[in-house]
Amino acid sequence: MVYFLAKMRPSTVGSENAISSMERMCGYTKSKLKEKPSNRAAEMAADSDSFLGERRTAVEGEDVDETSIFFLGVGEQLYHGSSRGVAELGVQPEVAKAVDEMDWMLPTDVQAEAIPLILGGGDVLMAAETGSGKTGAFCLPIIQIVWETLRDLREGKGKHGPSAQPVQKWSLSFFDRGSAMAITPDGMRCQSREQKEWHGCRATKGVTGKGKYYYEALVEDEGLCRVGWSTSQAALDLGTDKNGFGFGGTGKKSNNKNFDNYGEAFGMHDVIGCLLDLDDMEIRFWKNGADLGKAFSIPSQLKDATFYPAVVLKNAEMLFNFGEQQLKHQPPNGYVVVCEAPIDCTINNPATGTGQTGPSQTKIKNAPQAIIIEPSRELAEQTHNQMRLFKKFVDNPTPKELLVIGGVSVKEQISALQAGVDIVVGTPGRLEDLMSSGHLSLTQCRFFVLDEADGLLQQGYGDLINRVHSQIPKITSDGKRLQMIVCSATLHSFDVKKMAERLMHFPTWVDLKGEDAVPETVHHIVVTVDPREDKSWTNLKRHIQTDDVHVNDNVRPGSNNPETLSEAVKMLKGEYCVRAINEHKMDRALIFCRTKLDCDNLERYLISVGGGRGPKNPYSCVCLHGDRKPPERKANLEKFKHQEVRFLICTDVAARGLDIGGLPFMINMTLPDEKSNYVHRIGRVGRAERMGLAISIVSAVPEKVWYHGEWCPSRGRNCSNTNLTTEGGCCMWYNEPQYLADIEEHLGVTIQQVDPDFKVPMDEFDGKVVYGQKRSQTGTNYQTHVAQMAPTVQELASLESQAQLIYLKRHYLKDNPWNKG
């Protein structure tokens, strides 16, 4: 049945200025807000409902154009019933048909929140837990908007929005503005929430030649403002060059970077009058109707220049009146409001959608509309595949997607780019290569997506992200703003927040669970390995090859020195891994090791324990880590996905994002030192409402491990320096109990401890779930539902009985006056 969807988003809404900076100012989700908007932004947030409301109204029926058709699939009748709320997501029918084929019955919570926001033009920070469907939440609306844009271009309707409208009235320009400057659709109010930088804008028109002109600006919020006049040659940072003349809230006038005392300070609720006298070539300002005196004499070389009302803000907001509204203070004799300037003295602002905007209305072949960056090849490939599935029925025109990853022929990628692409999914390295060689152009990009954003930053791609962002025009040629979408199950890192502050435009947090959380479908437990109690390591007949960290140490059974215990932990962990597999009869699991060497050793061990590489080996396995060549990585992942082998042994390269349908089990051979990676690793199970068991094998004693940093000449390859890093070596003591404590504190949970027999004690999971299968409906929800409905049902029953009694009395009872005569 088709529940997912949908009616085409009315093209009118998509194409008009409705999708303007205003929505960005308004983009606060109704779910938990992690970052509160400022007062004014909060008011604007309320307005955002009116925007979304506008779209909903259209979706619901009356006022839709011919492109607005219901998608009436197999479940046609349902659209008029329970799926109504889902239809409000506004996903296009062709995309919905594809998700229907994938058996997606309902959007997940994050999809329900994020899709309308993205369709509405907003920047979104998606912080939902692992396996909650974030990929669909950004891919679906991107496909739709890309398709709409291609269609409009083809039909010659490309020029929408502000750029398409002839400049008729005096307002602030949508195009002549800084990247963090938001302007309301009426062009009368501007706001910049950038805390550190100044962002400015100019009006849509200016005055030149002769005459005396006046306009007013009201300070609407705390923060710093500077207002005045500038020519189109001036920097938007008003007053920092010789073409701009500003008066700032700190009581300074500024021109050409000279900040001199002038008048007095102004702030919230003050009205600044800006007066330009082109006859006497001077500029002065008023504060709340009081003349502050001449501020500037305009140099003679600017006598033919056009002067535009101009403003620059730092975390502030101002409301403008160019004379079309009632003024707070009448200008002095001889001055007129700018909107009444004679036509021959009025000049339109030349910035009308070019300049900082995308360059043209023609599709440039190697300039995609969406760039999606993923932290690993596997993940890029997975997202690319999803994209292909989602757009399966989208045609006429068909958006073209391209995968851009290392390890595969760059020539093919270049020729695909030359043939034309609309959506590029890739890893940072190859993307940057193609950009710097000019093969990939960013000039028509309108979506910049960072999947697993905290992971990208952890991997040191912050600068690359800044570089890419700085090359993308902030306003597209059809007047839309660049949209940035940032996702992860662990998005609440300081670095992500800083990046969002720097690059995103009034982003909306879609944050359904607050800080990092483990899905309810993941049952995660810990088994402690303590070689002081479990002495079995002293007489293991066959044990895993250890990592040779202790080759130079005095390690011998019977000793209790830290090195011996550390070596014992390594031996026992191999043993415990097999025990976990046996106890839970695992026939599919992802196994995470700390190093590539650990992965290789475990692979060899499982193959030898199970009797070789053949399919009959109950421990058949393959590896996925950075030392394996890309084709092998790909082949191994495919083998595991297609269940040709039972176990995939990997490093954290596979911790994030990998989606292996119905995976029941995962094992952590060692906890990750990065807390967020615990969430990602265990999130490989318990996805899409299926149950999963995640077992962490944790050493009770310190374990000495390899730690190759930039100081290691070979970066770990055949390194044998077993000294500690503090002694110039490549080893460290790994304190797993401490990492466990950190993870528990971070997640605010105590992870269930299980004995070394790996038997999971009776609890809410045990006996009620089959790992890998869909979560069955337990009684709890049902009971809650009954409890919630009970009062309403009772009231209905009593009303029904009252109605019946009244009817009976009225029609059948003898003493009823209505029945007499």
Ligand X SMILES: Nc1ncnc2c1ncn2[C@@H]1O[C@H](COP(=O)(O)OP(=O)(O)OP(=O)(O)O)[C@@H](O)[C@H]1O
Nearest distance from residue 666's CB to ligand X, in Å? 12
Q: How far is the CB of 506 from ligand X (least distance, A)?
A: 24
Half-sphere exposure of 94 (CA within 13 A, CB side): 18
What are 333's two structure tokens? 């004799």
| CB of 190 or CB of 457, closer to ligand X | 457
Taking the least distance from each CB to ligand X, the nearer of 140 and 234 is 140
Nearest to ligand X of 488, 601 (CB atom): 488
**DSSP type of residue 197:** S
Phi-psi region of 263 (alpha: psi -120 to 50; beta: other; left: phi over 0): left
| Minimum CB–partner distance for residue 132 and ligand X (Å) | 4
Residue 116's beta-bridge partner residues?
Answer: none
Phi and psi (nearest 5°) for 781? -60, -40
- Rounded to whole angstroms, the Cα distance separating 407 from 643 reads 25
Residue closer to ligand X (CB basis): 116 or 133: 133
For 523, residues 6+ apart whose C-beta sits below 8 A from its C-beta are 686, 691, 692, 693, 694, 760, 765, 769, 771
As given in the structure block, the two tokens for residue 435 are: 């950009």
Q: How far is the CB of 690 from ligand X (least distance, A)?
A: 9
Shortest Cβ 128–ligand X spacing (Å): 6
Question: Which residues bind to ligand X, rule: CB under 6 A?
Answer: 104, 107-108, 111, 128, 130-136, 489, 657, 659, 661, 683, 687-688
What are the residues whose beta carbons fall under 8 Å from the beta carbon of 79, sequence distance 6 or more?
70, 71, 72, 87
Q: Which is nearer to ligand X, 111 or 240 (CB)?
A: 111
Least separation in angstroms between CB 93 and ligand X: 16
Is 86 or 172 the residue whose CB approaches ligand X more closely? 86
First to last CA, the chain: 59
- How far apart are CB 462 and ligand X at their closest, in Å? 20
Pairing of strands 172-177, 199-203: antiparallel
HSE-up (13 A, CA, CB side) for residue 88: 16
Amino acid at 237: D
User: Which token pair is 679?
Assistant: 């969430």
| Helices marked H in 488-595 | 494-503, 562-583
Of 581 and 637, which CB lies nearer to ligand X in the complex structure? 637
* Contacts made by residues 756-764, CB under 8 angstroms, sequence distance 24+: 756/527, 756/528, 756/529, 756/534, 756/576, 756/579, 757/579, 757/583, 758/527, 758/576, 758/579, 758/580, 758/583, 758/584, 758/695, 759/583, 760/523, 760/525, 760/693
Cα three-residue angle 374-377-380, rounded to 5 degrees: 45
**Shortest-Cβ-distance residue relative to ligand X:** 133
What the block records as the tokens of 153 is: 């271009």
CB of 455 to ligand X, least distance (A): 10
In terms of CB distance, is 688 or 747 closer to ligand X?
Answer: 688
Q: Are the beta carbons of 297 and 281 closer than 8 angstroms? A: yes
Q: Which is nearer to ligand X, 84 or 809 (CB)?
A: 84
Question: Whose Cβ is closer to ligand X: residue 111's or residue 254's?
Answer: 111
- Classify residue 225 by burial, with Cβ atoms within 10 Å: 0-12, 13-18, 19+: buried
Shortest distance in whole angstroms from residue 638 CB to ligand X: 16
Nearer to ligand X, 510 or 565 (CB): 510
What the block records as the tokens of 442 is: 């960013």
Phi, psi dihedrals of residue 777, rounded to the nearest 5°: -75, 105
Residue 102 C-beta: closest distance to ligand X, Å: 6
The SS3 call for residue 249 is coil
| Closest distance to ligand X from the beta carbon of 556 (Å) | 44
Q: Which is nearer to ligand X, 188 or 485 (CB)?
A: 485
Least Cβ distance, residue 680 to ligand X (angstroms): 6
Residue closer to ligand X (CB basis): 123 or 454: 454
Number of CB atoms found within 10 A of residue 552's CB: 12
CB of 79 to ligand X, least distance (A): 17
